[in-house]
Structures are given as C-alpha cells and as structure tokens.
Amino acid sequence: MSKDRFDELYERYSDGELSDVDRAQFISILETPQGRERFAEHAAYEAALSEELRVGAAARKTASSRTLPKSGSRRIALAIDAEPDELRLLKRIGAVAAAAVLAILTIVFAITTQSQPPRPLVSRPLPVPQLPDQRPLETSKSEPPPAPAAAPPRAPSAPGLPPPPDVPRTVEPPSAARLEAPSPAPVPPPPRVPLATPDAEKPRESATFVGTVEALGGEAKLGDQPAEAGRGVPAGQSLSTGRDGYLAVRYPDGSRLELAGDTLVAKLGDGPSGKSGYLDTGMIFVEAAKQPAGRPMVLTTAQAESTVIGTQFVLSASAGTTRLDVREGRVRFTRLPQAVSSVVVTAGHYAVAGGSGELVSRPGVALWKAPTAGLQLWLRADAGVKLSGSAVAAWVDQSATGNSAVQDKPAAQPLWVSNAQAGRPALRFDGANHFFQLPDGFSDFRLGLTVFVVARPAAGGTWSRFIDLDIGPTCDNIVFGRKDGSDRLGFWIYANSQTKGRVEAPGAVVADQVQSFSALLAPGGHVTLFRNGAAIGAGDTSAPRSIVRKPNLLLKSTSGGSESLFNGDLFEVLLYNRALSETERSFVEAYFYAKYFDPATPPASWDPTGK
Amino acid sequence: MILERDRLIREFQRDRLRLIAYIRSLIGDADLTEDIFQEVSVVVLQKADEFSPGADLQAWCRGIARNLVVREREKSRRLRAFSDLRIVELVDAAFRENAGRELLDARRDLLRKCIERLAAPSRELLEQRYHLGLSLREIGQRLGRTEAAVQVGLSRLRKWLSDCAQRRAESGAEASA
C-alpha cells in the first residue's frame, strides 16, 4: 500500500466519502499495526496543523466568522486581546478614507463605461481545473517555498467566501477596465500556475455552463473533444460515449445525468424553463433533484418527451423506440411529435413509446435493460432451456454469440425447477455430477471482463466454480467461484500458468440464499467483487491473454478438492468481454433485483447502485 | 486529592491534541470536534475526583469522547458516514496502541515556524482544509480543481511541512550539540 493511496483513503474517510471498495481497503490497512500507527500519526499531525492554523488565523484577525463559535455552539469564544482605543480609532479613519477613495473610483469607472453598449450576461464555470503544482512548494530544501504565481482574476464574491463553482456564476465578461476595478473582497488567489498568457488579451468567448463533468471512463466526449473530469459543460453541447464509455454530469442543484456506453445526448441546457436535453441514442440514468416549480427537467427523444420533477429513472432510445423505467418518483412521458398522448409513469413502472400502440405505464421494472455490447454469454433459466424429461440437456445462450451450454451425459444434466424464487425458474445442480460444457473461444478480454451470476448455493462447495474457462494444459484459466472455503468468493486469472494474484472475499457466499455475485475486471487487471450489487472486495490479478480458451466449464472445477461441483440453484449468468461502467453494472443489478427479489423486502445488503 | 486533580489536569492538557485528533478521526468536522473536546474537558473536570490514580487517562477521555460522538451522530445526519463500527473499532485501536508514542504534535513549535514560511496561497489551501474544515470537494469547487488535485496538493504540503519540521529539528539539535 503506497503512502499516496493511504493519504487518499484517509482524506476520503475524513470527508465521509469512502466507497465500499475504499472502505474494504481502508479497513485492511487499519487491520495491520503499521496501518494503525500511520493512522494515529496522520490524525495527530492533522490535529496539530488544524490547531496551528486556527491560532494563526486568530492572530491575523482576518479569519472568517467560522473561527468564532456558531450560533448555539457550546464552544467558548477564543479570547483575543483588545486593541488599544487609539489604534482602533486610527484604523477606522483609514478605513473611512479608503472607502471614500473606493467610492470615487467606482463612480469614475461607471461614468467611463456608461457609453459602452451593455454586455450580455453570461455564466462561466470556474477555470479549468489544473493539477496542483507538480513541484514541491519550496525552491530548495533550505529556502522557503515560493508563492505560486498570481492567479487569474476572479469575479467579486461574498467576503471570504467564493461562490460554489457548481453554480454557474453570472459575471460580466472581463475587460481590462473591469479587472482593474477595485474588488470589495478579492478572493485569495489559488495556489497554482497562472492561466494568464498573452492569449488572455484576446476577447474570450462567452458560454453558459449547465453542469460539470463529474466522472468518466473509456471513450467519453464533450462535443468532439475528449471529456475531462471537472470541466464545465457548455449549454447546447453534446455528450457522447463509445462502446466502453461512461460519463457522468452533475448539475449545480445536485442532479446527475449518467451516460452508459454507445450513448449520445445532445443540446444539454439549463435555462429559465428548466433543464433539457435530447437523447439521440443509447441509455442514460437520471437522478434528478427536486426541480423548482414551473422549471421541470425535460428530456426528449425522437419518440417521446419525459418531464421530470425529481426522481431516478433510466431512459433508453434506439431506432424507433424509447423506453422509460422509473426507479423513484414520477415522470410524465409524452409521445412525440404530436404530444397529445401522455402517461405518468411512477416508481416501479415502465412505458415504451414507439410504433402506434397506446402509451401505457406498466408495472415492474423487470426488464431493466442489460447492456448488449460485449455480451458473450447470457444464460437464464426462464429462456432457452432444452429439457430431456425434467433434466436440462442444453441451455441456449441468449447473447448474440451462440455460446450455449450443453451436457450430453444424462447423469450430469441438472434439473429444471419451475418456481425456485419469486415465481422464477432455476436449474438445480446436485454438487456431485451436474455441470455444463461451454464452446471453445472466450479469447478476447482486452477491454476487461464483467461476469454476473444469480444463484442460491447450498452449503459446502468449497472448490466449486461458477465459471472456469480454459481448464486445459496451457493454463490460461479465468475462474469465478469459490476457493478454499464454502463462503469465500474468488476471481482470478492465469496467464500462461502464472497469476499475479487471486481476489477473494471471505464471508461473501451465504448458503441457501438467492444472491447475485459479480466480478469486474478492468483492463489493467484490477478486480472488484460484488455481492447483491455492493462491492465486497478488490485486488489485482493477471490480465488475460488473447488466446482461444478450451475446454470451458460451467459450474465445475477440475482442480481443488472433492467439492469441485456447484451444489444449488442457478438462475442466471451474464458474461461480458469488457469492464462495464458503473451505470451499466447498476442496470444489470437492478434488473436482477426487480426480477428475483420482492421490492418490498430486498436483501439487507442490497445496493443496486453499488454506491 | 488536590494534587491528584492537578496532575490529572496537567496530563489532560499534555495529551489534549491527541484527544482532539481522536475526536476528529471519528467525526471529521472541525467545529464539532472543538465542541466535543470542550464537553470532554468539562466532564473530565467534573469527574476528576472519580478518576482512579494510575488508570489510563487517555482511554478514559476517549471513552467520554466516544459517547459524546455517538450522541452527536444520532442528532446529525451528516455524521452517519462515520458510523462504521468496524472502522471506529480500528480507530480506537490505533489511538490505544499509539498512546505512548511521540507523535508529530510534539514538534508543534517547529511546525508553526514552517507554516509561517508558506506562501499565502499554500497556507490558504491548508486553512480551507484544516481550519475551515472544508471537504476536498468543497475546496475543489472553490478553487476550480478536481478533488484528486486538491488531495495531491494537500498531501504535498503536509509532506513539505513534515520535512521542514524534521530539518529544523535536526539543525536545532546540531546547533545545540
């Protein structure tokens, strides 16, 4: 564990923003004596810093009101030595004189600019975020750290409190005269390199920014430029993602818009009539904060318009069809272009616009759409089951790749159970003989891998696998299942008989409960394990080589102890040859949730968003 | 009895920063940390006579602080993020195990001198974090930077201050030798 990573986790912990993966890692550090020592040192150091800064600020008498006790605080006010009356009087005289000069300057400034045509009001985002100074803050080890160069001029703001950048700030375009005008309370320049260059003299383009790029992954663009986290999103701009892309935009009011892969959103706006956008194709997840009265968020597609007051929903658009799935709240869904037919879709319902059918809100979000890009295997007990009596001889792959699972030997064929959970069927494996074979292939995982399994494991099965690809002599296995313990979920990869490590989550597999398990392998080899949508472990393993894997097994391991076959019910398996984005993964988990669990009594640990 | 009480208060004063660090580790909020510390101080003063000589004062104070933090958690929604019992256990263990260790807070005077040498923007960055208690996100929003950039910037500043204090300690030791 690097010091940088510890620092990062400590800071997130301090801000109360540890993710599940962070938490697991942070706990694993704190479980070591060295980690606890580092924590105690770090905490004491920060407390000392805090104290020194507090004392220093009080001494400078320039601190904000937060140095004084808040209203209702139990804190005792810091006693600050009173100034001599004479000194106070002199300061007051000086302040009055300064105010008079300031007023005169302001009047002169106003007169000289009166003849100019009014400038349009525009909103600007804060300056493009830059990395902190890459060099240490001191010039040499014996010299004091240099002051960062002057920061770019900023708009006046409330004393000592710059406006939050997420709120598009309304400022007038800067001009030389304005920049020289006295500022009532100049914001301290941030410690970074100046943005001012000779180009800064050129007139700037004005734009209204509706939000900020909060997170991204893979191919993600703002207009035709690669998106960058922290960058403002200009009004009217388009957002797009590639096959492996993901992009999240946060609005000033906290609303979020997440784009799944292969998605294009155009004309993003936020004006007097509310927020707006056009989903051209793909899928977006929207988490809308409560919108002001008369200013709803309106998202349109070619077929429909969704009017939002404050809710969570998924909107997906493809050629000829738009589908709305509402997770929370309510959305008015209106067919376009006539806009005469509309329906209010409430939580747990969906509606589809397309063709000429009536616009209807239907119960159930069971059909939350699993992304299809990169889907290599999709086995589900409610589709494609080929029975031989009550046993299953083949399980037809529902993806486009045709990786169907087969079992020729009757004694090794699992049973089909029509109502195993929530009215849904499952395949029942006996843990002694039953398993499936998969076709050769599964060769290209350069973009990562994501695997999902919904199962109800029986007790035991210490070495049983969900999936074990390439069990042959070349030893390029991709393994997802249990290892060394019936409750220990694991995922690991061999590359030419070598592995960088196995990622395991002890206590993850609970016997006799329906659970979803998933593993997400990023292209670099980093793995995150999930149970019921929540991250439960992370680590590194080898990156898979691109080779034709064979033979491939489902629910059986050829290595390990005697309990190498899965015992229990299997409902569904999805395998992607890419790392799904966070949004996409949450779609799949939400799909499982709606399909296999009673929404009124979800599992205690259930977290469809994984957040 | 009076002597015992004086000794207890001296020890409490000596370890106060460690206690503040502990409280801050549990709740994250600088203002609330100060509030709770003051409440702990009041309780310690009120119950000083009940404290058994030879018992672990730091552990006692941490216990009082922990109870107050739990009470605050119940009142404040913002503090829910810090209600992870496993982490609280480990934070407890961290301070318990390192109670006797000399931490960097022992070099406060050197740290102060190093802070004084910081350029104003760097000091302001530190103040936003450790004095105003702003989150990385809030600071990033103010400065137009990403959270990661703010985190790295703070990390570098801490490192510089730590090195600076260390150098001063060494040069001071050499000068006095």
Choosing from B34, B63, B97, the residue where a domain stops is: B97
Positions in chain A whose pLDDT score sits under 50: 61-92, 106-206, 366-368, 599-611
Contacts of A577 by beta carbon, 8 Å cutoff, 6+ apart: A374, A376, A442, A444, A445, A447, A448, A449
- Sign of the dihedral through C-alpha A83, A85, A87, A93: positive
Contacts of A368 by beta carbon, 8 Å cutoff, 6+ apart: A314, A325, A587, A588, A590, A591, A594
Decide if A368 contacts A314 (C-beta within 8 A).
yes
- Sign of the dihedral through C-alpha B149, B150, B153, B154: negative
CA distance A583 to A284: 8
Decide if A596 contacts A421 (C-beta within 8 A).
yes
| Angle (CA) A379 A381 A385, round 5° | 85
Ramachandran category for residue A569: left, alpha or beta (phi over 0 → left; psi -120 to 50 → alpha): beta
Neighbours of A342 (CB within 10 A): 16
Q: What amino acid is encoded at A169 in this protein?
A: R
Same domain, B80 and B113: no
Same domain, B77 and B162: no
Same domain, B63 and B124: no
Beta-ladder partners of A171: A122
pLDDT in tens, B34-64: 888 888 888 887 777 777 777 888 888 888 8
Domain that residue B54 falls in: 2-97
Task: Name all contacts of A5-14 with Cβ < 8 Å and 24+ positions apart.
Answer: A6/A35, A6/A38, A6/A42, A7/A42, A7/B151, A7/B155, A7/B158, A8/B148, A8/B151, A10/A39, A10/A42, A11/B136, A11/B151, A11/B154, A12/B136, A13/B28, A13/B87, A14/A46, A14/B24, A14/B28
User: Which of these, A280, A326, A279, A317, lies nearest to A299 by C-alpha position?
Assistant: A279
Tokens for B91?
A: 């934070």
Decide if A300 contacts A274 (C-beta within 8 A).
no
Same domain, B18 and B59: yes
Q: With an 8 Å Cβ cutoff, are A44 and B18 in contact? A: yes
Q: Please tell me the predicted confidence (pLDDT) of residue A511.
A: 92
Same domain, B12 and B86: yes
Same domain, B31 and B93: yes
Q: How far does chain B reach from its first CA to its final CA, in angstroms?
A: 42
Q: With an 8 Å Cβ cutoff, are A137 and B22 in contact? A: no
Contacts of A271 by beta carbon, 8 Å cutoff, 6+ apart: A208, A235
CA distance A501 to A491: 9
To which residue do tokens 């390199």 refer? A193
Choosing from B76, B97, B118, the residue where a domain stops is: B97
Same domain, B33 and B74: yes
CA distance B146 to A296: 29
Q: Which residues of A touch B17 (CB under 8 A)?
A: 44, 47-48, 51
- Sign of the dihedral through C-alpha A581, A587, A589, A592: negative
Decide if A344 contacts A331 (C-beta within 8 A).
yes
Same domain, B138 and B77: no
Judged on CB neighbours under 10 Å (0-12, 13-18, 19+), A134 is exposed
For residue B121, the chain A residue with the least C-alpha distance is A191
Q: Please tell me the predicted confidence (pLDDT) of residue A68.
A: 35
**How close, in Å, is residue A155 to chain B by CA atoms?**
12
Q: With an 8 Å Cβ cutoff, are B86 and A27 in contact? A: yes
How many structural domains are present in chain B? 2
Same domain, B85 and B144: no
Decide if A350 contacts A325 (C-beta within 8 A).
yes
Interface mutation target, options B34, B136, B168, chain A, most CBs of A under 10 Å: B34
- Sign of the dihedral through C-alpha A364, A367, A370, A373: negative
Q: With an 8 Å Cβ cutoff, are A74 and B39 in contact? A: yes
Q: Please tell me the predicted confidence (pLDDT) of residue B177.
A: 43
What is the mean predicted confidence (pLDDT) over B82-107? 76
Q: Considering CB atoms only, which of B35, B101, B152 is closest to A75? A: B35
To which residue do tokens 């592995």 refer? A499
User: Which of these, A450, A427, A443, A305, lies nearest to A370 by C-alpha position?
Assistant: A450
ipTM attached to this prediction: 0.89
State whether residue A52 sits within 8 Å of chain B by CB: yes
What 3-state DSSP class applies to A243? coil
**How close, in Å, is residue B52 to chain A by CA atoms?**
26
**How close, in Å, is residue B17 to chain A by CA atoms?**
6
**How close, in Å, is residue B56 to chain A by CA atoms?**
18
Contacts of A491 by beta carbon, 8 Å cutoff, 6+ apart: A451, A479, A480, A502, A503, A519, A521, A527, A529, A541
- Sign of the dihedral through C-alpha A170, A172, A173, A179: negative
To which residue do tokens 């494609």 refer? A384
Read off the CATH number of the domain in which B113 is found: 1.10.10.10
Q: For A375-596, which CATH class?
A: mainly beta
- What's the pLDDT band for B161 if we cut at 50, 70, 90? confident
Q: Please tell me the predicted confidence (pLDDT) of residue A610.
A: 31
Neighbours of A91 (CB within 10 A): 11
Q: What amino acid is encoded at A26 in this protein?
A: F
Q: Read off the pTM.
A: 0.42
Decide if A446 contacts A561 (C-beta within 8 A).
no
Mean pLDDT of chain B: 79
Judged on CB neighbours under 10 Å (0-12, 13-18, 19+), A348 is middle
CA distance A72 to B144: 33
Domain with CATH 2.60.120.200 in chain A: 375-596
- Evaluate the omega torsion of the peptide bond into residue A523 and state whether it is cis, within 30 degrees of 0: no
- CATH number assigned to the domain with residue range A210-363, chosen from the 4 options 2.40.160.40, 3.40.50.2000, 2.60.120.1440, 1.10.10.10: 2.60.120.1440
Q: Please tell me the predicted confidence (pLDDT) of residue A180.
A: 28
To which residue do tokens 């779609």 refer? A587
Same domain, B114 and B162: yes
Choosing from B97, B129, B153, the residue where a domain stops is: B97
Same domain, B62 and B16: yes
Q: What is the DSSP letter of B112?
A: H
Same domain, B69 and B138: no
SS (H, E, C) A71-130: CCCCCCCCCCCCCCHHHHHHHHHHHHHHHHHHHHHHHHHHHHHHCCCCCCCEEECCCCCC
State whether residue A34 sits within 8 Å of chain B by CB: no
Q: How far does chain A reach from its first CA to its final CA, in angstroms?
A: 23
SS (H, E, C) A164-188: CCCCCEEECCCCHHHHHCCCCCCCC
Decide if A238 contacts A264 (C-beta within 8 A).
yes
User: Which of these, A545, A574, A407, lies nearest to A470 by C-alpha position?
Assistant: A545
